[in-house]
Amino acid sequence: MRRPHPIDYYVGMTKYFLNLEACEGRVLRPKGFRVIELSEPSPGPSYVYLLLKEGIDTIHALREIRRRLGGKWYHLGLKDANGVTLQLLSSDVVSEGLQLRLRKGCLVLTPLGRGSINKARMWGNAFVIDLQCSKPHSLEGKVKVPGYFSYQRFGTARPVSHVVGKMILLERWEEAVEALLGEPTPWESEAARRVRLEYYSEGPRAYLRAPKFMDVERRVAFELLRGSSPKRALKKSGLTELFLHAYQSYLYNKRLSEFDDPCEGPEALPGPGAEGYEELLEEEGVTLELFKKFGLRAAPRRPCYETYVKSFARGDGRVTLIFKLPRGYYATSLLREIVRDPFAV
């Protein structure tokens, strides 16, 4: 059986749980990765919109919308850039909608009327996934999806969000900045690697030439150039909580990987009151007191979810999978079990 990719190990996903042979293929992104948010608006004074997008993630889509329409915009979940996704937004802004063609994608914003959105009325997401496999197989019926936090939580080409988070937790702010701005990986673009290497000789000035897609790094680097301390620069990014949660997710993945059956895994993230993490925390050199200091709680999480997968063989090695997952679960946690290549899911 194929061993997990080094990236999988790096983010704590050190095991495959399903007894499958790799399909030797890939997800046909972006058009073959379709996500429909399973939510409904509730009565309220605001306005609800339907966002259809491709080639842009939710955060950047909201920036584009705010830039043109102003106001505050709210969402229930972050949707992948490399796919076609449908989700609800809400705002106090009144608009007839918006259609944008972007450098690598597009978005369509359609007004639905008055109302509001909240997580209590979001069940999860439905997925329609097209695979191209040289060894096609039919995965159909009830499937246990492991509760791994998947690649999107950490960064696929450069999975370091959890490393930055650990350094923040330990209040080693300079090292957190080093992890974010330096440390090139062989999986990212040549332009990104070049900037990261130049950072070691030029410091944050190297990011004056950084490509626009490195927006988080640019934001932190520009704060440093304005004279901010590493701590202030990271806090100004507005992403310290995201980095801390990524580290919690990494620890959860490591703990889940210790089990043969994912459904027997941990039922909460590491934090005050969580059980079963003592040995792992000691190995990592962190304490629960640090989690408490940063307000990180032991949020409950089901270690696996049983879903029903419907499969359609379409000829020429193409297979379409249809399934649903609750909020907080990742389609790629299931797809990695089938494809067994982080760059093919």
Catalytic residues: 80
Would you list the DSSP string of 38-49? Answer: EE--EEEEEEEE
Residue 338 neighbours by CB distance under 10 Å? 26
Residue 53 neighbours by CB distance under 10 Å? 26
Determine if residue 253 is left, alpha or beta; phi over 0 gives left, psi from -120 to 50 gives alpha, anything else beta: alpha
Residues 300/267, Cβ–Cβ less than 8 Å:
yes
What six digits make up the tokens of 98?
Answer: 């918006």
What six digits make up the tokens of 182?
Answer: 């330096």
**Strand, coil or helix: what is 163?**
helix
Query: What are φ and ψ of residue 201, in 5° steps?
Result: -100, -30
Pick the closest to residue 345 from 209, 69, 190, 152 (CA basis): 152
Report the length, in residues, of the chain: 345
Angle of helix 240-256 versus helix 161-169 axis, rounded to 10: 110
Q: Which amino acid is at 247?
A: Y
Residues 113/88, Cβ–Cβ less than 8 Å:
no
DSSP run (H or E) holding 231: helix 230-236
The pairing of strands 141-146 and 42-54 is: unpaired
List CB contacts of 46: < 8 A, sequence separation 6 or more: 90, 91, 92, 114, 115, 116
Angle at 160 between CA 277 and CA 67, to 5 degrees: 120
Q: How far apart are CA 240 and CA 72, in angstroms?
A: 21
